[in-house]
Amino acid sequence: MAKLNLPVYKKEELEVTVEDLTYQGLGVAKVKGYPLFIKAALPGEKLVVKVEKLGKHFGYAKALKWLTTADNRVKTKAKYLQTGIAPLMHLDYQSQLAFKQKLIKDLLVKAHLDQIEVAKTLGMEQPFAYRNKAQVPVRQVKGQLEIGFFKQGSHDFVALEDFYIQDKRIDQVLLVVRDLLRKYQLNAYDEKSHTGIVRHLMVRRGHYSKQVMVVIVTNTKKLPHATEIARDLQAACPDVISIMHNVNDARTNVILGPQTELLAGQAEITDQLNGLTFKIAAQSFYQVNPVQTERLYQAAIKRAKLTGTETVIDAYCGIGTISLSMAKHAKHVYGVEIVPQAIENAKQNADANKLTNLTFEVGEAESWMANWQKAGIKPDVIMVDPPRKGLTESLIDSATAMAPDKIVYVSCNPATLVRDIKSFMEKGYQVTQPILPVDQFPQTTHVESVTVLTKQK
């Protein structure tokens, strides 16, 4: 392998000044133009670092000593940074919001789309204890069953009792479940040997309903003492109305296995979103920050300028959270989703909310758009809320072939958003309002946003 001709060498100790933050929240310091990425360092700070890892275009260094600290640094508990639960918690909240706006701006500049404006990030009043869902690994530490999290980028387990960004009631319920597993002497999963019983605990809580679901994920087909655990849990926590057992016996990083059975109570909890009621099952996709999700959907509806006369297509409808919200402001909404269980839930949710102006279909959005086009359905607005990988070219082709006046793009990944905007622009659509970043995940580097693309006449 050719020797890299770099201005720094491994294990070298240097004094550097941090200039910027990467999209992952790492500090960036440059040595003769060569970038070094440093965990927990902020722009403007001077520090002594030790070079740890070198690559052709950038390297990683570890902070040894801070010589100066930034004004927008806040005190933290190191374990949250270590585990990656809250990788931005050392940055004050207003600066976090500015960082998220800049993330999108920088990507637009890089793509030569600097003419597109980015609004200020819509933040939260209380930017912690917001998550309505916890998925925590269970491991044996010094002979005792513990709940916790893995150190970022590793499988080193850190035992935790307070998860900082989760609903506080969820943390309390997790401790009750942990203590019951200890009481009935259930051992935790061991990744290396693929032995042990309890792998993960999942807890969901309705923000408005206050209903709690507990899912115990095991490596074994049976959960020993299931009846006693369920009985004791309901006695200690009357708000736990759903106790489920999920089996995942595969050697995998995926948390839930395909098989879930009801141990006690009911199989679903309900919650409200913008005045609508939704049923949430163990496997349902449901946004984890209910306060900001309401604001995100309200922003999407407002920016789509719905008046009650429009036909809308929701291309990744899930259990119908956006579809139902839009149905209150549109003539008819067509939702499509590849997961059959999600469509079943979406139909139930429409019925529960007495909304009749919705049609839900299972399948690929591209196929259904072609079917609807053949049937003479002409959408005024197409709504897309894709996963992190963004949209496929075929979906962009299908959406633009229907020639809606507006495409409303809810994105959870600025990089794929900017890539997809370029594709839409090539097909005659323009971004006509500033992109709105929404902080769905305070204390982390993730940013959601709403972009409206309008068909050019």
Number of domains in the chain: 3
* Chain mean position to CA 382: 22
> Is position 102 within any domain?
no
Pair 228, 359 in one domain: no
Residue 188: Cβ within 10 Å count: 24
CATH number of 47's domain: 2.40.50.140
Measured between alpha carbons, how far is 92 from 158 in angstroms, rounded to an integer? 25
> Is position 26 within any domain?
yes
Pair 314, 447 in one domain: yes
CA distances (Å), origin 406, targets 105, 296, 311, 321, 389: 22, 17, 11, 20, 22
pLDDT at position 303: 95
% the chain with pLDDT above 70: 99
Pair 313, 356 in one domain: yes
pLDDT at position 1: 43
- Select from 245, 273, 301 the last residue of a domain: 273
CATH number of 246's domain: 2.40.50.1070
| Tokens read off for 133 | 């869902």
Pair 178, 242 in one domain: yes
Pair 442, 295 in one domain: yes
> Is position 360 within any domain?
yes
> Is position 328 within any domain?
yes
> Is position 85 within any domain?
no
Pair 245, 308 in one domain: no
Structure confidence by residue, pLDDT tens digits, 396-433: 999 999 999 999 999 999 999 999 999 999 999 999 99
Pair 151, 191 in one domain: yes
pLDDT at position 457: 83
- Select from 47, 71, 95 the last residue of a domain: 71
Pair 436, 316 in one domain: yes
Measured between alpha carbons, how far is 122 from 128 in angstroms, rounded to an integer? 15
Report the DSSP pairing between strands 429-431 and 406-411: unpaired
Confidence of residue 2 (pLDDT cuts 50, 70, 90): low
CATH number of 351's domain: 3.40.50.150
pLDDT at position 4: 77
Pair 137, 262 in one domain: yes
pLDDT at position 78: 73
Please compute the mean of the pLDDT values over residues 288-314 and round it to a whole number. 96
Measured between alpha carbons, how far is 136 from 174 in angstroms, rounded to an integer? 9
Catalytic entry in 214, 412, 436, 450: 412
Lowest-confidence segment of 75-84, 108-117, 186-195, 353-362 by average pLDDT: 75-84
> The pTM is what?
0.92
- Select from 273, 307, 333 the last residue of a domain: 273
Pair 238, 299 in one domain: no
Which residues in 271-291 are b (16+ Cβ under 10 Å) and which e?
Answer: bebbebebbbbbbbebbbbbe
Pair 296, 437 in one domain: yes
What is the residue range of 372's domain?
289-455
Pair 293, 211 in one domain: no
Q: Is 412 a catalytic residue?
A: yes
> Is position 63 within any domain?
yes
Report the DSSP pairing between strands 311-314 and 332-337: parallel
pLDDT at position 93: 97
> Is position 165 within any domain?
yes
